[in-house]
Every structure is written in C-alpha cells, then in structure tokens.
Chains A and B, each alone.
Chain A
C-alpha cells in the first residue's frame, strides 16, 4: 500500500522535475508539496531510508527558490539527478550496509537530516564515503535507452573526453606543485561535472566512479593527504578507466554490445587506496552512503566558488589594498577554515572589510568586475570546419577582386583623392580580414604538448628512469589538422628519447650528470614553418656504430667520408635499424623511417643532431598549415602550373652541349656531372609548347625521394604562396596533378604532383 504510494510520489516528482523550467516558482512549489507528502510518516513507513534524500532535495529546492543560483539550468539537472537517485534507491530497497549505522537507527538520519544538510557535511565516519560493497553490475549501461537522445550521449562523450584530458594534464602539473589548490580545483571540477552529468544521463557506473574519485580529491583538497605519487596514479587509473567506459559507451551508441568492465574491482581498489592514503583508523564523517548526491548543496557551493579571478587580486590591481593586506587576509581565511572546518569559508572581501583594509563599496565593485570578467573571458564556440573553409574561400576571392579594382585603369584614371583613400582603406581591411580568416584555423600546439606529459611520466616509470619534461612555446599556433597529424611522430621521437636517449639514474651518476634526465620540447615559428625541437640530455647517438651499420646495410661504402650530420640522418633511412636491436645506442632507429615518411607527407623536414654523451636534438619542421604551400609558377604552352618549392632544386637554361640523347633512355640534361632525364611537360600534358629546344626554354630540376629529373617549361613566373584547393572527386586521381590553386587573376592554376610525374 505504502509502497505504491511512495512509488507514485517519486514518479510524480520525476515527471515534475523534467517539466521544470528555470524560474518556475510554482513548479518548485509543487515539488515541495510532493516532498511533504513523502515525508508523512504514514506514507514513508518502511521507506525511512529515502528521507535523508528527500531532505536534501528539499534543501536544494529551497536554495533555488531563495538564492538565485548562478546556473539555473544546471541546478535543475542536479535536482533531476537526486530524484533519479531516489527512484533507484527506492527500487533497490534499503542500503545493505548502511555504513556506521545499524538498521535499527534508520530513523535517526531522518530526524537529523534537515540540520545536517544545511551545513556542509562535517568530518566523521565513512572514510571513503560510499557503499563499498556496491550493487553495481559489471555489465555496462544496462537498461539505458540509447535510442532516445543519441545526440545528448554523443555530446556527453565528447565533453567528458575533453574533461578527462584536462584532468590528466592538470594532475601532472599538480605533481610538480602539490600544494597548489588552484590546480587541485581544476582537477576536481571536471570530475564533478562528469559525475553530475553521468548521473543525469543514467550512467550509474560512471557516476559512481567519478564520485569516488571526486571524494578522493575532496579529501586532498581538505588537506587530509597530499596528492602525489600513488594518489596521482590512482586518479590517472581512474581517468583511463572512465575513458575506456566512454569507449564502450560509443560502442553501445553504435548499436554494439559494450564489454563488461571490472567496475567493482576498480571501486574496491580505489577505496582501499583511499583508506591507505587517509591512514587507517582516522575518524571520518558519517555520510549516508546511499545518497550519491549527498552533496547537492555542496554542488551549489562549488559552482559558486569557481572564481577565475580572485576578488582580492582585483583589489590589489586597483590599488585599493596592498599585496600584504591580501596575504594577511588569505592567511586569516585559511586559519579560520582550519579552526572550524564545518563552517563555510569566509570571503576574503569580508575579512578585508572587518580589518578595515577597505570599505564594502570597493569590495562590491571588485566583485562586479570579477563577474564581468567571468562573462567575457574564454568564451569559445565550436564551428563546423566547412563554414570556416567557406569563409577563407570567400576572403580569398575578396582579395582578388580588391586587387583587380586597384589595378583597374578606369578607376586609377579618376585619380581623385577620395577614391585613392577609399581604395587604400579597402586594401587594408581586406588584408587584415584575410589574416583573421587564416588565423581561425590555428590552435596552440599546447594540446599536443600536453599529452606528452603523461607519456613521459609513464615511460619514466616503465624504464625506471627519472625524467623531467620541460616545455617552451606551447602557445605557438598551428593549423588544427596539423596538430593532430604531428602527434604520432612526436610520440615516436619522445619515446625514443626516453627509452634510448636518457640513461638510467645510475648511469647518469657515473657519467657525472644529474640523476634526473631532461627532455625539452620547444615550439616556435620560423620562416612560415613551425619548428618543433625535442631535446634530450641523454647519451646521444654513437656515430661509430651508425657508420658501421650504414656500411653493413649498403648505404655507404668503406671509402665514403660522411659528416656526422649525414650519419645521424641515416638512422631515418628505411630498414636501417629494425634488424638487430642495438641496446647500447641505436635501438633508436626502430621505425624511424615511418616518422620521416609521416613528416614528409606533411611537407615537413626532420633532422637529427647529437653530441655523444650530451644528448640529441630532433628538429621537426612542418608548415603552419596543410592548406598553403610555397610554389614556383611556371608556364607551359598556354597554361600555368605550380611546382611545389619543396621539390624544386634549381632552375636553369641548359646550354646546347648539356643536352644529350641516349639510346633507350630518351633525353638527358647534364647538370653538374650528373645526367638527369628530361621530361617535356607539354608532352606529358598534351599542350602546344612555345619552345621546343631545351636551350631556348628553361628546365626546372626537381627531386622526389632522391630521384632527380628536369622539367622542361616555357617560362618561370615566380615564387608564390598558394592555397591548395581540391579539384573535386571527378578529377582527383589524375596522374601528375595534385590539385588546383586560385591565382592572382582569379583563374585556376594546377599544382604539379612531382611524385605522380615520376611514375609517368
């Protein structure tokens, strides 16, 4: 009887929460009525375990009604999370092991609940805060209906992955600076969000895991232990675990069956570790285990705590208080918090006013200012790349039209000052517009660098080495596509540096170096390229061994006298190293040709330098963007073609004596002691050449994979930066043509594909 009634009320609650809109006071009132109903003893008889949750829910609603919560949408999400949780608790019955509280006391929490929930959960019982013998299933996402809200889940996956990346990056920063509460908060918040949203999305297991990890962090935040070493590992494991769950979620969304994951094992492990970190036997808070969202009220507080710029800092900036004043106030604040951890923290502003360092009005202004900054700072939107490309195309056209206007003889003939002025203005605006449009695709290389921190940490652990990763120029901007594409080559090189470059602590000590090796990542712009340097202070490459090996492999003959530089770059040759692994030095070659190929595909260059005993430097030079290349414009017949400058060695007008025809090999041009085959472009492209004799035309010497040959062209127009455009799928696989480009006069020029010409 009562069970039915409770079920009914919960369903009503759930329905009402879903219908609720921000600012809907009468809706909130309805919810309160339902809770009143639920709390009646004759209704809730036998379901007392729901009462604490009901109390929380009431508090949360009251908070929304009275205090204008900064993010109404989110507060509603949270409400719905609590209600869902209540429904689940209701269905699964009373908690099996209500931690610390024997079943007979189950009424007590209900009496306590209002008082308890108004303040932050105080210190006391359950160390980890949650049902350790949980009823979670290892089967993922049972009973979740993915057909509805596909988009919502997709969004959740993307967002959560971003959050997890942020966590990963920040936790590694924290390791360097364990006391920094700012960083700690930036790890705490994403977990908090994942927890909240996954609960709302009915992804129970994720919710619980995120919650456990959040608790762990919360304890670290409350200075119960320091987050380092083992604790960091634990959190990173958690991140990996959640990432795997997200992968499974993607599988499930695609209609597949997600694999089971050892959710309970993981939780137990986390809890045990957590207990160890806290130190056995420490008295901790009794927090009713069932309410996953016991900290709903807490949620509101943390949300409000997210202050990008501190009020105190603004006050110092404005000169209202001195830095010492601020530090004093902050000290007082933390002392206050330590003395009475139960109470909410005093605001810095309050303390400052109490101490007569400043007046309330000034503080008020600073708070306003802070809010403004919050609103304006770091707002970003996601835009479809196609729209961006369209914009860039259009701007390109604008530049051309602008140039045409400027060169138009009729307009120049007008010669009035106004026209000249306006044309100048137009030119300026167009060129800055073009710059802005091109910059839209650029992102800082930071996101790729950030991933390396984890990599180096893991590698150091695995190889028992001590490695510091130092990064410079993370703000260097590079095309979004490029960022993704240079990731793999960078991983490869860094792995090499950590694995083979940096020595073990003992070896380093013996060599008189600091035990901790350093890998330095640098990024900077240079000559239209992004240059990335990976520097290690390890043992360096062994020139002798490479030389020997190169001879073995037939890359060199005994009599060759290669420079060190040439030898270093030999390890990039295909098949150089794979054979026998030289543990001593150059196991380094493994798959290096793959790296080289990948970089070359990006039209980049990779170089290696090294000093024996002092480490190596790998320099990767890639263009800022894949969309723009430097090209040499040539004329063949009546068409213009663009030869990528990367392929061009030189251009020359051969003398008659340099021209040879060899039986069976066709025409050859002798360029400095080497005979290079001559390719008549007009024959290849079937157009009428202006000149037939090479000594009256020009040849461009090009190279592809160290194979050189001469292209016969009629004229050289010059070097130019061009934006590569696809010719569309109908014309994509033409041999010898890599794409099109819009030239200065608005017509299309074709870009030559030197590799394709070779095959021809």
Chain B
C-alpha cells in the first residue's frame, strides 16, 4: 500500500499530468486544456453578426458581457446538425491583443474531465485529418479511447489564417 503510494508519488514528480475537458463532436472525442475553460452553459439564442467569419455564429449575452460564439462543427467543416438538449457552449478564455478575452464554443455534448500524463499524449499524426493539424495539440490515449486535444488559441484564431492551414494539410 505504502509502496504503491510512493511509487505513484514518484510518478507524479516525474511525469507531468494535465487535466482536460473532454467533449463529443460528431463521432469523435475531443479535449480542451481545463485551465482555458471558464464555464459551461447550455445552448441559448445567438444573435447573428453579419459579415463575421462563417464559423462565428454570432454573439450571446454572458452575464452582461457580449461574447462571440464559434460553432466547432462549422469550424472543422463537419456536417451540421440541429442543436439538442445536450448541446453546450463551452466558454473559454483566450489571449487577445489587450488581455484575455472570452469566447464561446458550441459542442455536441460535454463528457468529463480527464487526467492525462505527458506520456499518454502523442504528437498529432502527419496524415490529413478532418481537423486542420494546427488546431491539434496531440492525441491522448486512455481506457482504450482516443481523445483529440485541441489548441484552443488556434481554434479561435481567424478563419483566414486557418484556410492556409487547411490548404497545407490537404
């Protein structure tokens, strides 16, 4: 028992462990660095903003602040589907020009918070994927599942930049 504990402690000191929020999108499981996640709210009515990037579906009122909302399915060019009761907006905080800014990300459903050690995370495959490679930080493996870890800053960057990225990967 004690030995086990010690072994685990030793493990902890050697290997970095990080927490990720996992969520479903289309058929895949994705993960976001939990430190970037501010809160999770239910889907609500979004005000369309004409002229914005297509994947930015509009703005919502988050307790008196207006924040933009991105639809990940649109962002990654996946087939669209109706929002349902499990559809959520994950509010993340990303670095803006003048300090941190909040942004909402629409996902199919939130799953859990998972712990991943560095050695459970592999660098993303070079092969083309649906998601442009620059948005992926790595692939996490646990309990026979694969979780695609997203780089939230890249996900929320403007579409013009990612178009180039898509070109490269395809």
A interface, CB within 8 angstroms of B: 390, 392-394, 396-397, 639, 684-687, 725-731, 734-737, 740, 742, 746-750
Contacts and interface: CB of A to CB of B under 8 A. Distances in A.
A127 B50 CA distance: 75
A742 B97 contact: no
A640 to B, nearest CB: 8
Contacts of B48: 639, 687
Nearest to A398: B64
B51 A736 contact: yes
Given A685-B50, A686-B50, A737-B51, A747 B56 contact: no
Nearest to B96: A729
Nearest to A682: B50
Interface of B: 45, 47-52, 56, 58-61, 63-68, 96-98, 101-103, 156, 158
Given A396-B64, A728-B67, A731-B59, A749 B47 contact: yes
B50 A748 contact: no
The 5 closest A-B pairs by CB, nearest first: A393-B64, A685-B50, A748-B47, A740-B66, A734-B51
Contacts of B98: 729
A114 B49 CA distance: 79
Given A397-B64, A725-B65, A730 B56 contact: yes
Nearest to A726: B66
A734 B65 contact: no
A725 B65 CA distance: 7
A214 B76 CA distance: 71
Contacts of A396: 64
Given A730-B103, A731-B59, A748-B59, A737 B50 contact: yes
B47 A750 contact: yes
A697 B98 CA distance: 42
Contacts of A390: 64
B61 A731 contact: no
A748 B60 contact: yes
A360 B1 CA distance: 80
B65 to A, nearest CB: 6
Contact of B64 (A735, A737, A742): A742
A731 B68 contact: yes
Given A729-B96, A730-B158, A747 B47 contact: yes
Contacts of A686: 50
Given A392-B64, A742-B66, A748-B59, 5 more contacts: A397-B64, A685-B50, A727-B59, A730-B68, A740-B59
B50 A734 contact: yes
13 contacts: A393-B63, A393-B64, A687-B50, A725-B65, A727-B49, A729-B97, A729-B98, A730-B156, A731-B59, A737-B51, A742-B64, A747-B45, A748-B60
Contacts of A394: 63-64
B168 to A, nearest CB: 23
Contacts of A727: 49, 59, 66, 68
A731 B49 contact: yes
Residue from the set B66, B97, B156 with the largest chain A CB neighbour count within 10 Å: B66
Contacts of B96: 728-729
Contacts of B68: 727-728, 730-731
Given A397-B63, A725-B66, A727-B68, A684 B50 contact: yes
Nearest to B64: A393
B103 A746 contact: no
A256 B49 CA distance: 46
B51 A748 contact: no
A731 B51 CA distance: 9
Contact of B101 (A392, A729, A749, A750): A729
A684 B51 CA distance: 9
A430 to B, nearest CB: 14
B149 to A, nearest CB: 23
Contacts of A749: 47
Nearest to B156: A730
A393 B62 CA distance: 10
B65 A393 contact: yes
A742 B67 CA distance: 11
A740 to B, nearest CB: 4
Contacts of A397: 61, 63-64
Contacts of A392: 64
Contacts of B52: 730-731, 734
Contacts of A728: 59, 66-68, 96, 101-103
Contacts of B65: 393, 725
B67 to A, nearest CB: 6
A239 to B, nearest CB: 35
A686 to B, nearest CB: 6
A134 B121 CA distance: 71
A397 B60 CA distance: 13
A419 to B, nearest CB: 26
A748 B67 CA distance: 10
Contacts of B67: 728
A192 B67 CA distance: 50
Given A726-B66, A727-B49, A742 B61 contact: yes
B47 A639 contact: yes
Nearest to B45: A747
A390 B64 CA distance: 8
A725 B61 CA distance: 10
Nearest to B49: A731
A729 B61 CA distance: 16
A414 to B, nearest CB: 26
A684 to B, nearest CB: 7
* Residue among B49, B102, B158 with max Cβ neighbours from chain A (10 Å): B49
Contact of B51 (A725, A726, A735, A740): A735
Contact of A746 (B61, B156, B158): B61
A687 B51 CA distance: 11
A686 B102 CA distance: 26
B72 to A, nearest CB: 15
A739 to B, nearest CB: 8
B49 A737 contact: yes
Nearest to B53: A730
Nearest to A681: B50
Nearest to A723: B64
Contacts of A393: 63-65
A736 B66 CA distance: 18
Nearest to A743: B61
Contacts of A737: 49-51
A15 to B, nearest CB: 41
A393 B102 CA distance: 15
Contacts of B45: 747
